[in-house]
Each structure stands twice: as structure tokens, then as C-alpha cells.
């Protein structure tokens, strides 16, 4: 039930390193030379155009918005492109999980055991209706646990130290968009048997060319999944809005963009949020 409500965003900082050098006697007679730093390699508009052709040779580079030409938060255009690339990849991955989860939940697929100590089962949650209604039916504590876990992953993926432990940099400082640090290397004080990204090491022995090709495939699948999950949500909230899905999606009368519902009114601000909702 995690799959259908994961869509949120982010930002972070920069790591520094230093090195020592031996001084020859002659060097003591003159001021030390300033250390040279290698500028980070950042993606540019030309890189976006090249990627667009690889992803879809028919459409190519199509950018109806000025976002890629802007400098978010006073940053460079390259840093902004890094932010946009990372956001698209992450939201595409979430959407792929959401699409699969929506299909499974809509067809009554669920775990066979209880999900709370009080004895509430996943079957009880599944009986609430469609995926959005199932989220509303989750106990408040379950929602808070899910949201806190998502927040932890968000903070970890933005943390300079965590990224550095995996040999990476922040995506707005020359790092690779879409990279998630290894959970095994960040000092979590409990055993971590698997990483969130590539837990079984399938990409470890891939050539760089194959990795690049699969990243393009992932990009295309993520874009399709974003359209797909929003189509599902629209069809559930506004019956008939997606003709191809008429009669296939259970209607939902709640607020699809609200993380909490009337059952969570004991939490601060939730009651006011529900009253302010136009839906």
C-alpha cells in the first residue's frame, strides 16, 4: 500500500577534500602555489538534446517550458539541469512502482497476514475499495511510519556524506542524477543485508555501454508510468475522464493529493486541511 502515495521532491550541499604535499627547501623561499581543483562535469543543454534523441528519435528534443534555461535558487544552468534530471528519474521510478501497485491493489492482491498488532489484516484494508481508499483505510500509525521512511530515504539521498561514502557527489554539484547511496556504507547502526538500489547486484558486472542503454530504457518507462498512474488517479476521481479506463477503475470520493483523511483527524492540522479542501 506504499506504492500509491509516493510522489514528493528535494535539495542539498557540497563535500570538500584536502591533500598534503612535501616541500623542497627551495620551495620555502616562495609562496605556495594555489591548489588546483577539477571542475565537476555537469550536463548541459547539448547533453539533453543528445539524450532526447536516444530516448525517442521521432520526437527528439522537445522542451515547451523554459525550465532547463533557468538557474534555480541562484544556481547555474548546469546545476538546474542536474536537479531536473534527478527529479524526472526519481519520479519515474516512483511512478513505475505506483503503476504496478495500483494494478495489484485494484485486483485484490494483498499480503495474507495482519498489518497491525490489533489484528487488522491486509485483507481488511483491501476490502476498503480501490488503492486510494485503501490508503485512507490504513491506521494513522501505519501512514506515519511510511511517510517517515520516505523522509529518511529523501534525506539520505541528499546527504553529502552519505553520497561520498559511495564515491558520489550531489546531482547539483557534478554527481550523477538518479544515484542513491549504498545503505551499507553510511553507518546505519543495524545490519543492512540489502541496498535499496540494485539489492542483488545485477548491474555490478555490466559494461558502461549497457548501463547507459538501460538508463535510457528506464527513463522511457518512467515517463510512460507517470502518465499511466496519473491516468489511473484521474479515472478514479473523475469517472469518464479517461475513456479507455471506463468501468475498470473503482471510483474514489476522497482527496487524492492529501496524505491524511478523516480517520487521521486526531493529528494536528488535519481537520483544518480537510475543511479547506475544495473537493
Residue 232, C-beta contacts closer than 8 angstroms, at least 6 positions apart: 99, 102, 131, 245, 249
CA–CA separation, 5 and 105 (whole Å): 13
Using pLDDT thresholds of 50, 70 and 90, give the confidence band for residue 159. very high
| Three-state SS at 165 | helix
Complete DSSP assignment for 71-125: -GGG--HHHHHHHHHHHHHHHHHHHHHHHHHHHHHHTT---SSBSSTT--BHHHH
Under 8 Å between Cβ of 227 and 233? no
- Comparing CA positions, the residue from 243, 217, 236, 265 lying closest to residue 93 is 217
Each residue of 31-61: pLDDT tens digit?
Answer: 444 444 445 678 999 999 999 999 999 999 9
Using pLDDT thresholds of 50, 70 and 90, give the confidence band for residue 214. very high
Q: CA 113, 115, 121: angle at the middle one, nearest 5?
A: 55
Q: CA 157, 173, 33: angle at the middle one, nearest 5?
A: 135
Predicted pLDDT of residue 274: 82
Q: How far is CA 13 from the centre of its chain?
A: 18
Q: Is residue 81 pLDDT above 60, yes or no? A: yes
Structure pTM?
Answer: 0.81
CA–CA separation, 107 and 101 (whole Å): 10
267 to 106, 119, 149: CA distances (angstroms): 28, 22, 18
What is the percentage of the chain residues whose pLDDT exceeds 70? 85
Q: How far is CA 32 from the centre of its chain?
A: 45
Each residue of 96-150: pLDDT tens digit?
Answer: 999 999 999 999 999 999 999 999 999 999 999 999 999 999 999 999 999 999 9
Over the chain, what is the mean pLDDT? 85
Of 86-90, 157-161, 168-172, 200-204, the least confident:
200-204
Predicted pLDDT of residue 257: 87
Query: Would you say the C-alpha torsion 156, 160, 161, 165 has a positive or negative sign?
Result: positive
CA–CA separation, 89 and 81 (whole Å): 12
Three cell numbers, residue 242: 479517461
CA–CA separation, 104 and 110 (whole Å): 8
Under 8 Å between Cβ of 43 and 81? yes
Amino acid at each position: 500500500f506504499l506504492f500509491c502515495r509516493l510522489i514528493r521532491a528535494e535539495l542539498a550541499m557540497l563535500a570538500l577534500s584536502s591533500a598534503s604535499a612535501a616541500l623542497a627547501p627551495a620551495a620555502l623561499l616562495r609562496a605556495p602555489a594555489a591548489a588546483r581543483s577539477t571542475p565537476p562535469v555537469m550536463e548541459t543543454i547539448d547533453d539533453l538534446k543528445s539524450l532526447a534523441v536516444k530516448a525517442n528519435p521521432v520526437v527528439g528534443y522537445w522542451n515547451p517550458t523554459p525550465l532547463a534555461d533557468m538557474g534555480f535558487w541562484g544556481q547555474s544552468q548546469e546545476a538546474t539541469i542536474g536537479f531536473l534530471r534527478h527529479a524526472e528519474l526519481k519520479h519515474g521510478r516512483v511512478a513505475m512502482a505506483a503503476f504496478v501497485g495500483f494494478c495489484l491493489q485494484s485486483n485484490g492482491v494483498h499480503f495474507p497476514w495482519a498489518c497491525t498488532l490489533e489484528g487488522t489484516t491486509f485483507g481488511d484494508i483491501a476490502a476498503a475499495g480501490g488503492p486510494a481508499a485503501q490508503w485512507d483505510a490504513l491506521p494513522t500509525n501505519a501512514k506515519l511510519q511510511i511517510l517517515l521512511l520516505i523522509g529518511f530515504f529523501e534525506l539520505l539521498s541528499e546527504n553529502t556524506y552519505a553520497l561520498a561514502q559511495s564515491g558520489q557527489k550531489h546531482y547539483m554539484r557534478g554527481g550523477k542524477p538518479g544515484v542513491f547511496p549504498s545503505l551499507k556504507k553510511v553507518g546505519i547502526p543495524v545490519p543492512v543485508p540489502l541496498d535499496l538500489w540494485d539489492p542483488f547486484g545485477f548491474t555490478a558486472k555490466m559494461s558502461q555501454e549497457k548501463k547507459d542503454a538501460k538508463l535510457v530504457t528506464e527513463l522511457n518507462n518512467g515517463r510512460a508510468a507517470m502518465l499511466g498512474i496519473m491516468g489511473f488517479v484521474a479515472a478514479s476521481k473523475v469517472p469518464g475522464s479517461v475513456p479507455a479506463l471506463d468501468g475498470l477503475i473503482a471510483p474514489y470520493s476522497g482527496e487524492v493529493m492529501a496524505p491524511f483523511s478523516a480517520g487521521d483527524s486526531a493529528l494536528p492540522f488535519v481537520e483544518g486541511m480537510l475543511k479547506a479542501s475544495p473537493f
